[in-house]
Amino acid sequence: MRIFIDSADVDEIKRIVELGFVSGVTTNPTLISKTGREPKEIYYELAQMVEHVSAEVVSEDAESMVKEALEYSSIHPNIVVKLPMTNDGLKALKILKDKGVRVNVTLIFSPSQALIAARAGADFVSPFIGRIDDIGYYGMDLIKQVSQIFTLHDISTQIIAASIRHPVHFVEAALSGAHIATVPPAVIWKLLKHPLTDIGLEKFLSDWKKSMGVNV
């Protein structure tokens, strides 16, 4: 499973990308609006750092979605256009695929939506785990079912596990067959830490210093 960052905060993304394990960033209109910045500038800066930047359209009809998508994809080859799983989103997907634009279909909440988006040509689908948990169902089942369907029918569309809220979601997404997890920075920082790592390092260093005669 590859690891993407789910954020539009360029400074924080840069600090994480420097650690070397991230290959993409996903944004959405909510994340972009929190920055107060011009979206295209953000997409351009992020596309210099990672090989995949999902930029989501905010238009609602197919024709305007295509226009907006073409603007975003012309910013940098690493931009992947994000379209919502609506009828207009599917229409726009077909037109964009014919023009060679890479597309991530978002707001996927059922296996049938994922299969349809894949058959319509999506390069990526983004099933939302946490929002399904929020309404009292087990979101991870969606990742398992989509993964099973894509494997059974030899579908190459990649599954991006989205709406990840905590470290257990991350691990279960990997075990459930997600190709990618897109993870908010707050969760990424938690994934890096383990108390036994800190305790172990402290002991190694104090033993080393003692043996070298350094006061600890």
Q: What is the DSSP letter of 213?
A: T
**40 contacts ligand G3P (rule: CB under 6 A):** no
Total residues contacting ligand G3P by CB under 6 A comes to 11
- Token digits for 58? 């905010």
**158 contacts ligand G3P (rule: CB under 6 A):** no
**26 contacts ligand G3P (rule: CB under 6 A):** yes
**Contact at 8 Å (CB) between 67 and 59?**
yes
Buried b (16+ CB within 10 A) or exposed e, 75-91: beebbbbbbbbeebbbb
Dist CA 153 CA 114 (whole Å) = 13
Dump the DSSP string for 40-81: HHHHHHHHTT-SEEEEE----SHHHHHHHHHHHHTT-TTEEE
Binding to ligand G3P in span 108-137, by CB under 6 A? 126, 128, 130-131
Binding to ligand G3P in span 50-109, by CB under 6 A? none
Dist CA 187 CA 15 (whole Å) = 14
**Catalytic annotation on 91?**
no
To ligand G3P, the closest distance from the beta carbon of 195 in angstroms equals: 26
Site string for ligand G3P, 165-194 (x = CB under 6 A): x----------------x------------
Among 28, 78, 157, 158, binds ligand G3P (CB under 6 A): 28
- Which residue, 101 or 162, is less far from ligand G3P as judged by CB? 162
Catalytic residues: 82
- Using CB under 6 A, list all residues that contact ligand G3P: 6, 26, 28, 126, 128, 130-131, 162-163, 165, 182
